[in-house]
């Protein structure tokens, strides 16, 4: 039996967590399908007409629907309240993914749900600051939620550059805040701490600037991303755990590769290469997902995946397919673009398969008392 949700502040039931996780997965499938259709890996007819649909806005579905649901779900699991926040994000993604000629009203409704969800996420951070104490990482995460809200507003207004920067800032600032939180274990020098704060404020400035001067905002953004990549490579505790055993080493290796992708994306962005954004999304962000997911499963689902070296395979496949995509954009090869898209999808499928096998192996080797300890417990969202 699952523990009931009888009021705010109580642990969420396993069934509710599973339902929200399934909603996030549906958003990922819609976003990935739309992306494959754009790259020629799937027939466009399978995903509706272009324009406000998964085919025409798969990036918004990926960020607002999938990541909006997953990141909000992490906050909800930690605070034991606000399950409606990831629910609205996921429902908005489904509506956006299904919008088109048959459901013309679904797209603006999706924006409304996303806006409410982002506002609710801001409220969760405000609650955490009031009841668990303010902190710099928590402030950065709250500003990431504000950037998500700005991205949704820009998307609804047809301001694509501003929406892209808002969405990117949501993911980058959330990741940076979580890594900064872990650095409390190893005190930073004064100048390193100030550099982080300046980079954070500059990132928010680029999001605001994108509404009026998108080209200048993009140049500022990529310059800041160069600095962030260098900062993370120099100061993140992951650099000290590269050779650590089990999942700690896996996470450190994924993060290190992700930071290199972030640096490459920034260099390509400063050079005006259009593929820089996909290097950011698929290289940096998904390396973070591949690295952190095994550590988040015990908290979110009560599962203890058993470590396997195969867990690095999706990271390698994603890297190879991303390299193929950059080559396709450099030489305008439609066949290469389609193959790259299929490679991205293969990386996601491999990740799901490897994690499923790891969870199954962990369950076989987990004692009953370990299963009890694996249940989600309160965690500071900072």
> Tens of pLDDT along 226-247?
999 999 999 998 888 888 888 8
Burial class (CB in 10 A: 0-12, 13-18, 19+), 144: buried
Q: How far apart are CA 176 and CA 227, in angstroms?
A: 12
Report the percentage of the chain scoring pLDDT > 90.
59
Spell out where the chain has E strands.
none
Q: How far apart are CA 77 and CA 297, in angstroms?
A: 11
> Tens of pLDDT along 359-370?
888 766 554 444
Q: Rounded to two decimals, what is the model's pTM?
A: 0.87
Cβ–Cβ under 8 Å, residues 34 and 61:
yes
Lowest mean per-residue pLDDT among 24-33, 36-45, 194-203, 283-292: 36-45
Dihedral sign, Cα of residue 60, residue 66, residue 69, residue 70:
negative
Q: What letter would DSSP give residue 141? A: H
Give the pLDDT of residue 288: 96
Average pLDDT over residues 282-296: 93
- Confidence at 119, pLDDT banded by 50, 70, 90: very high
Cβ–Cβ under 8 Å, residues 59 and 112:
no
- Confidence at 43, pLDDT banded by 50, 70, 90: low
> Tens of pLDDT along 54-111?
444 788 999 999 999 999 999 998 898 999 999 999 999 998 877 754 566 788 899 9
Cβ–Cβ under 8 Å, residues 19 and 29:
no
Please give the mean pLDDT across all residues of the chain. 85
The end-to-end CA distance of the chain, in Å, is 31
Lowest mean per-residue pLDDT among 28-37, 187-196, 202-211, 304-313: 28-37
Q: Per-residue pLDDT for 152 more than 90? A: yes
Give the pLDDT of residue 35: 77
Secondary structure class of 178 (helix, strand, coil): helix
Give the pLDDT of residue 100: 54
Average pLDDT over residues 10-39: 82
């Amino acid at each position: 039996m699952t523990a009931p949700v009888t009021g705010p502040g109580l642990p969420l039931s396993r069934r509710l967590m599973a339902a929200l996780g399934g909603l996030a997965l549906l958003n990922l499938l819609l976003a990935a399908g739309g992306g494959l259709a754009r790259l020629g890996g799937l027939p466009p007819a399978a995903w509706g007409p272009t324009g406000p649909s998964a085919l025409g806005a798969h990036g918004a579905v990926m960020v607002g629907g999938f990541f909006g649901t997953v990141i909000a779900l992490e906050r909800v699991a930690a605070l034991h309240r606000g399950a409606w926040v990831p629910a609205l994000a996921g429902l908005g993604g489904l509506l956006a993914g299904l919008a088109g000629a048959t459901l013309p009203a679904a797209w603006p409704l999706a924006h409304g749900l996303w806006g409410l969800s982002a506002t609710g996420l801001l409220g969760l951070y405000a609650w955490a600051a009031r009841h668990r104490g303010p902190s710099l990482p928590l402030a950065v995460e709250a500003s990431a939620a504000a950037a998500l809200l700005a991205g949704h507003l820009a998307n609804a207004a047809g301001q694509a550059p501003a929406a892209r920067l808002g969405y990117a800032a949501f993911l980058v600032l959330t990741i940076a805040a979580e890594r900064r939180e872990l650095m409390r274990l190893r005190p930073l020098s004064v100048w390193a701490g100030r550099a982080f704060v300046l980079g954070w404020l500059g990132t928010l400035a680029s999001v605001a600037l994108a509404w009026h001067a998108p080209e200048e905002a993009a140049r500022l953004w990529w310059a800041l991303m160069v600095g962030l990549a260098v900062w993370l490579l120099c100061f993140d505790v992951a650099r000290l755990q590269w050779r650590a055993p089990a999942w700690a080493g896996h996470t450190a290796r994924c993060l290190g590769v992700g930071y290199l992708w972030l640096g490459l994306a920034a260099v390509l962005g400063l050079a005006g290469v259009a593929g820089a954004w996909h290097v950011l999304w698929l290289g940096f962000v998904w390396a973070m997902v591949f690295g952190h997911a095994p550590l988040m499963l015990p908290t979110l689902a009560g599962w203890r995946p058993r470590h396997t070296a195969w867990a690095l395979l999706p990271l390698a496949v994603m890297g190879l397919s991303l390299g193929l995509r950059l080559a396709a954009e450099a030489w305008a090869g439609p066949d290469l673009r389609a193959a790259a898209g299929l490679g991205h999808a293969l990386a996601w499928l491999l990740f799901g398969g490897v994690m499923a096998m790891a969870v199954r192996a962990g369950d076989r080797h987990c004692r009953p008392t370990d299963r009890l300890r694996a249940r989600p417990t309160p965690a500071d969202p900072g």
